[in-house]
């Protein structure tokens, strides 16, 4: 006789900055898992999930987009759980302010001590990192929140290129990166607790896809400009308009009126990138736009962004984005839909 499936208790943490789409997506997938067994035998067996939304206080709160969210219980009513997930949050100007939710941070630490697996999707890791439990470990977050994350949590190693990061001695921390990579997190959790066959069945039912290429193809290069070095800022402004010209770094150094060796040192200190890496990323970013919006051949795009050797450009593009230029175009170029 088949044993009764184990119930995996999941708490979804809601704060006023929570993104309702991610919160409810997680809620719907986990709580519909038990019902999907009528569609596939692969979803019956080892485990079932019981997910609930919890908050500082029970009752209704307004999410970041204005959608009301109902928390049936407060965190004070939750003494234990198998999994705790902090969904994506949306914060003003992309700047996280620590210390807003000390009660939740304390509760997260207590839940971890009691054996719960702590998870985050996208920017939800900003709240999780306040516990200090991620110090010295790898983590991932939406690339847009990387600057504020690094300022707030310098002891955590960011792996922005990864869609999913599992960390901790007992793999008790699970974090997904930008936006819909929460699909990867939920599939991983289902595979962990209900088996890989169940995860595959859920992926097929919801048409979820693993981000097998990582998140590098999705990241947009956003140069640091608020560093306070006026001479380097002047060089950056010039490079933004002339990155494709030959000897662009030497010309930028002359414009900044800083000796070239000192320029390279100051540039990296201010922007976090060596000048050559900075220019390469500007060129690749422009190439990405052309691949997305035009039908121009890759070799022509290579020439237009500053590379005479298309083979070098192709290697560089793959190193920075994680995929080939052709694969990038197939992934992001808006397809023409056949009209019946």
Who contacts 187 (Cβ-Cβ below 8 Å, separation ≥6)? 199, 202, 203, 208, 210
Q: Hey, what are 159's tokens?
A: 């792996």
Question: Architecture of domain 6-217 in CATH?
Answer: 3-Layer(aba) Sandwich (3.40)
What are the domain boundaries of the chain? 6-217, 230-332
Residue labelled with tokens 């003494």: 79
pLDDT at position 44, please? 66
| Chain CA centroid to CA 21, Å | 15
Answer with the residue of higher pLDDT: 71 or 224: 71
| Chain CA centroid to CA 127, Å | 14
Q: Which helix (H) or strand (E) element contains residue 158?
A: strand 157-158
DSSP code string of 100-132: S-HHHHHHHHHHHHTTPEEEEEGGGHHHHHTTS
Of 35-44, 83-92, 331-340, which gets the smallest average pLDDT?
35-44
Q: Hey, what are 225's tokens?
A: 């400009």
pLDDT at position 271, please? 94
3-state secondary structure of 84: strand
pLDDT at position 5, please? 81
pLDDT tens digits for 164-181? 999 999 999 999 998 899
Residue labelled with tokens 């839940």: 111
pLDDT at position 45, please? 66
Is residue 322 predicted with pLDDT exceeding 80? yes
Q: Hey, what are 170's tokens?
A: 């007992």
Is residue 1 predicted with pLDDT exceeding 70? no
Is residue 92 predicted with pLDDT exceeding 90? no
3-state secondary structure of 82: coil
Q: Hey, what are 285's tokens?
A: 């970013």
pLDDT tens digits for 193-246? 998 988 998 999 999 988 988 899 998 998 989 899 999 999 999 999 999 999
Q: How far apart are CA 150 and CA 76, in angstroms?
A: 31
Question: Architecture of domain 230-332 in CATH?
Answer: Orthogonal Bundle (1.10)
pLDDT tens digits for 45-54? 678 999 999 9
Q: How confident is the model at residue 35 (pLDDT cuts 50, 70, 90)?
A: confident
pLDDT tens digits for 265-300? 999 999 999 999 999 999 999 999 999 999 999 999
Query: What's the rounded mean pLDDT across residues 54-74?
Result: 96
Who contacts 125 (Cβ-Cβ below 8 Å, separation ≥6)? 86, 134, 139, 140, 141, 149, 175
Q: How far apart are CA 87 and CA 20, in angstroms?
A: 9
Is residue 32 predicted with pLDDT exceeding 60? yes
| Alpha-carbon distances of 144 from 108, 186, 199, 293, 317, rounded to whole Å | 25, 22, 29, 22, 21
Q: How far apart are CA 3 and CA 275, in angstroms?
A: 62
pLDDT at position 309, please? 96
Would the CA dihedral through 319, 325, 330, 332 be positive or negative?
A: positive
User: Same CATH fold, 230-332 and 6-217?
Assistant: no
pLDDT tens digits for 97-149? 999 999 999 999 999 999 999 999 999 999 999 999 999 999 999 999 999 99
pLDDT at position 284, please? 98
* Count of H-run helices and E-run strands, the chain: 13, 11
Nearest Cα neighbor of 84 from 61, 122, 52 is 52
Is residue 253 predicted with pLDDT exceeding 80? yes
Q: How far apart are CA 12 and CA 50, in angstroms?
A: 11
The crossing angle, in degrees rounded to 10, of helices 20-32 and 182-194 is 20
The 10 Å CB-count burial string (b at 16+, else e) for 112-135 is beeebbbbbbbbbbbbbbbbebbe
Beta pairing, strands 6-13 & 47-55: parallel
């Amino acid at each position: 006789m088949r044993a009764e499936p184990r119930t995996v208790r999941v708490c979804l943490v809601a704060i006023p900055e929570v993104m309702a789409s991610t919160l409810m997506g997680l809620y719907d997938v986990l709580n519909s898992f038990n019902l999907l067994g009528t569609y596939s035998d692969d979803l019956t067996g080892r485990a079932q999930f019981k997910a609930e939304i919890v908050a500082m206080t029970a009752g209704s709160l307004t999410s970041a987009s204005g959608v009301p969210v109902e928390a049936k219980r407060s965190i004070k009513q939750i003494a234990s759980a198998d999994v705790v997930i902090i969904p994506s949050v949306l914060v003003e100007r992309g700047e996280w302010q620590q210390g807003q939710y000390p009660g939740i941070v304390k509760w997260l630490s207590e839940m971890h001590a009691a054996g719960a697996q702590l998870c985050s999707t996208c920017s939800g890791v900003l709240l999780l990192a306040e516990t200090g439990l991620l110090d010295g470990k790898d983590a991932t977050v939406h690339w847009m929140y990387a600057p504020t994350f690094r300022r707030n949590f310098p002891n955590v190693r960011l792996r922005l290129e990864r869609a999913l990061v599992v960390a901790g001695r007992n793999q008790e921390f699970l974090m997904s990166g930008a936006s819909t990579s929460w699909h990867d997190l939920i599939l991983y959790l289902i595979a962990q607790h209900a088996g890989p066959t169940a995860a595959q069945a859920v992926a097929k039912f919801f048409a979820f896809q693993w981000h097998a290429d990582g998140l590098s193809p999705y990241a947009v290069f956003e140069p640091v400009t608020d560093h306070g070095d006026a001479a380097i800022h002047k060089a950056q402004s010039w490079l933004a308009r002339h990155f494709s010209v030959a000897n662009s770094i030497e010309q930028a150094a002359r414009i900044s009126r800083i000796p070239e060796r000192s320029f390279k040192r100051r540039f990296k200190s201010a922007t976090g990138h060596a000048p050559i890496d900075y220019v390469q990323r500007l060129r690749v970013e422009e190439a990405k736009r052309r691949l997305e919006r035009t039908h121009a051949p890759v070799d022509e795009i290579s020439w237009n962004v500053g590379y005479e050797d298309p083979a070098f450009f192709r290697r560089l593009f793959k190193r920075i984005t994680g995929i080939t230029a052709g694969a990038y175009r197939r992934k992001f170029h808006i397809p023409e839909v056949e009209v019946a």
